[in-house]
Amino acid sequence: MEIDKIIHEPARLRIMMILSGVEQADFNFLLTTLGLTRGNLSRHVEKLESAGYLKVKKSFKGKVPNTGYELTQKGSRALTQYWEDVDAIRQLGQSL
């Protein structure tokens, strides 16, 4: 059993968990909720995007550009699998 290393990182796990609860969240929301720096958040988001776990939606709110993030089906499946693996490891640890 191998834990998904992309999701296992604390900030990325939190990003994935936030996105699994809503349809879409924008950059600002993730920034204020996680307390990361802009650069750091961008880097984590890029990693998740390149893994195909989330997709970026660029739009305009009036005249202001807005970047929203959405969890993909692949991301949703990976997150479910991640928790199943974590729970299995925890149970294994308890039984030892």
Partner 1 sequence: MNSKQHNKSQDQDTEKLKEIPKWVRKYAQNRTLTIIVLMAMICLFSMFVAALVGFLLALAIAGFKKGNMILGCVGIAVSVAVLATISIFLIIIFSKFGGKNRGLLDQRIDKWIYRKEGTATVPVPKSSKKKICLEILSGVIFFICIFASWHLAIKGYIAYKYLQPVSALYIVPFVVCGWYFWKSPRMGPIYLLYPILYAGHAILIVAGVPIFFTTENFCIFSICLPMLGYGFLPFIIGHIYSRYALKKLKGITHLEGDTANGD
Give me the residues that bind partner 1 (CB under 8 A), please.
9-11, 13-14, 17-18, 20-37, 40, 43, 61-62, 64, 66, 68, 83, 86, 90, 93-94
Q: Nearer Cβ to partner 1, position 74 or 90? A: 90
CB of 33 to partner 1, least distance (A): 5
CB of 52 to partner 1, least distance (A): 19
Rg over alpha carbons for the chain, rounded to the nearest Å, is 15
Residues in CB range of 8: below 8 A, 6 or more apart? 82
Q: Nearer Cβ to partner 1, position 2 or 5? A: 5
Burial of 15 (0-12, 13-18, 19+ CB in 10 A): buried
CB of 74 to partner 1, least distance (A): 17
Question: Strand 64-71 to strand 54-61: parallel, antiparallel, or no bridges (unpaired)?
Answer: antiparallel
